[in-house]
């Protein structure tokens, strides 16, 4: 049975589906991160629609869209901006970089050096950038959706753990099914649908949705459940480094956003269970012997979920 969706969220999803075929779950998770004021890391092979997803989301919510193509020669100043001397004014003037936008596509982020990757860190965590000692605030909403190719592909750099921890969710697009790919071909014969996509809400309405999401109630038993899951990832036999407290906060916020988009004002354990692999897996570092045995971070999170007692829900008045 399909859950009842918040009408505004349903309209946004339907708008995105005009462009993206068969990717409703990915679009929903992206909206969860946007409402929770987090960021998303999309990992998959080239050509499955990662960039199109971000553009469709930005257009649907009337957000300014900036794209940063990460390459091996990209410099941090190419991301944040640079101060340039103006001889007429006899002073330095700041020229904003592409990070100065609402929705930022950090395309193929793992194709550049860790130094340039880290240029996103302050913006993602503090909603600001500092250039030549001057701090510039980023306009809200500020949302980064980064794409990366699988690490086994040539010419890629692993993302530093500090940067991975700043992504609320990590997910994959996956290849479309046969019927879905046929639909993609049919659409490609005509004018690209992204060109005709119209906004369905404005930025002020989006900010209102973000504020309302924060009012979703989280019972103490759910908070304890989240903390127990995170704690057990740290003591798991296969884990060298478990999920951070930032991961616990992220899981709670994501669960609030999930409840909100489904029209509820309280969080239930099912939402925590569903979102935990997306929120916690990329924050876990496995022991080398576990990786050798084929254990994945997702396996660890699912094992932990299976072992942690589910809180008994009280009747909601």
Are 221 and 278 within one domain? Answer: yes
With a cut of 80, say whether residue 2 has pLDDT above it.
Answer: no
**Domain end position, chosen among 134, 168, 202:** 202
Q: How many folded domains does the chain comprise? A: 2
Residue among 54, 30, 33 nearest 197 (CA): 54
Could you tell me if residue 314 is inside a domain? no
Give, as one character, the DSSP assignment of residue 89: T
Q: Could you say which DSSP state residue 101 is in?
A: S
Whether 155 has a pLDDT exceeding 70, the answer reads no
Residue 316 lies in a domain: no
In this structure, are 101 and 230 located in the same domain? no
**Each residue's pLDDT tens digit, 44-66:** 777 667 788 888 999 999 999 99
Half-sphere exposure of 17 (CA within 13 A, CB side): 12
The answer to whether residues 114 and 59 belong to one domain is: yes
Digit-coded pLDDT (tens) for 187-216: 776 655 777 888 999 999 999 999 999 999
The answer to whether the bond into 141 is cis (omega within 30° of 0) is yes
The CATH number that applies at residue 257 is 1.10.8.80
Region 118-126: mean pLDDT is: 82
In contact, 213 and 260? CB cutoff 8 Å: yes
The DSSP code for 315 is: P
- The predicted structure's pLDDT at residue 1: 35
**41 & 182 share domain:** yes
Could you tell me how many residues make up the chain? 317
Calculate mean pLDDT across residues 19-34: 90
Residue 207 lies in a domain: no
Burial of 13 (0-12, 13-18, 19+ CB in 10 A): buried
Q: Which residues contact 317 (CB under 8 A, 6 or more apart)?
A: none
Q: Which of 2-6, 63-67, 127-131, 303-307 has the highest mean pLDDT?
A: 303-307
Does residue 298 share a domain with residue 218? yes
**Domain end among 202, 227, 252:** 202
The torsion defined by the Cα of 81, 95, 99 and 134, in degrees rounded to 10, comes to 70
Say if residue 279 is in the same domain as residue 130.
Answer: no
Whether residues 102 and 162 share a domain: the answer is yes
In-domain check, residue 30: yes
Same domain, 169 and 291: no
Is residue 315 a part of any domain in this protein? no
Predicted confidence (pLDDT) at residue 149 exceeds the cutoff of 90 = no
Q: Closest Cα to residue 201, out of 296, 60, 56, 102?
A: 60
Per the structure, the complete domain to which residue 185 belongs is given by 7-202
% pLDDT > 70, the chain: 93
The CATH number linked to 103 is 3.40.50.300
- CA 274 to each of CA 71, 232, 271: distance values in angstroms, whole numbers, following the listed order: 34, 17, 5
Tokens of 134: 């001057």
In a domain, 187, yes or no: yes
**Per-residue pLDDT band at 314 (split at 50, 70, 90):** low
- Is residue 313 assigned to a domain? no
Instruction: Indicate if 190 and 249 belong to the same structural domain.
Output: no
| 3-class secondary structure, 90 | coil
Non-local CB neighbours of 292 within 8 Å, separated by 6+ positions: none
263 shares its domain with 188: no
The Cα 23–Cα 143 span in angstroms is 20
Q: Are residues 257 and 147 in the same domain?
A: no
Q: Do both 115 and 34 map to the same domain?
A: yes
Q: Which phi-psi region, left, alpha or beta, contains residue 5 (left: φ > 0; alpha: ψ -120 to 50)?
A: beta
Query: Is 283 contained in some domain?
Result: yes
Q: Higher model confidence: residue 143 or residue 72?
A: 143
The pLDDT tens digits for 241-269 are 999 999 999 999 999 999 999 999 999 99
- Closest of 100, 54, 52 to residue 78, by C-alpha: 100
Query: Span 285-304, mean pLDDT?
Result: 93
For the record, the structure tokens of 90 come out as 């006899």
Q: Place 234 in a pLDDT band, splitting at 50, 70 and 90.
A: very high
**What is the pTM for the complete model shown?**
0.88
Q: Strand pairing partners for 107?
A: 69
Q: Which of 143, 178, 202 is a domain's end point? A: 202
């Amino acid at each position: 049975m399909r859950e009842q969706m918040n009408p505004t969220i349903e309209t946004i999803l339907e708008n995105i589906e005009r462009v993206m075929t068969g990717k409703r779950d990915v679009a929903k998770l992206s909206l969860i991160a946007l409402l929770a004021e987090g960021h998303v890391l999309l990992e998959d092979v080239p050509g499955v629609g990662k960039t199109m997803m971000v553009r469709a989301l930005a257009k649907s919510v009337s957000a300014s869209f900036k794209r940063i193509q990460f390459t091996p020669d990209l410099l941090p100043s190419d991301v944040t901006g640079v101060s340039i001397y103006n001889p007429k004014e006899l002073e330095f003037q700041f020229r904003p970089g592409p990070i100065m936008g609402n929705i930022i596509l950090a395309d193929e982020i793992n194709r550049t050096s860790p130094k340039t990757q880290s240029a996103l860190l302050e913006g993602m965590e503090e909603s600001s950038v500092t250039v030549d000692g001057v701090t510039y605030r980023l306009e809200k909403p500020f949302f980064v959706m980064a794409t990366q190719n699988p690490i086994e592909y040539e010419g890629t750099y692993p993302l530093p753990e500090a940067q991975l921890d700043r992504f609320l969710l990590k997910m994959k697009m996956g290849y479309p099914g046969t019927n879905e790919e046929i639909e993609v071909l049919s659409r490609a014969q005509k004018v690209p649908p992204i060109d005709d996509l119209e906004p369905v809400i404005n930025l002020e309405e989006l900010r209102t949705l973000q504020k309302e999401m924060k009012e979703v109630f989280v019972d103490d038993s759910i908070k304890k459940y989240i903390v127990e899951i995170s704690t057990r990832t740290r003591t798991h036999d296969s884990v060298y480094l478990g999920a951070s407290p930032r991961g616990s906060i992220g899981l709670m916020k994501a669960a609030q956003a999930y409840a909100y988009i489904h029209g509820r004002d309280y969080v239930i354990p099912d939402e925590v269970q569903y979102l935990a692999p997306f929120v916690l897996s990329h924050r876990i570092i496995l022991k080398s012997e576990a990786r050798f045995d084929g254990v994945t971070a997702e396996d660890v999170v699912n094992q932990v979920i299976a072992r942690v007692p589910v809180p008994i829900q009280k009747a909601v008045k």
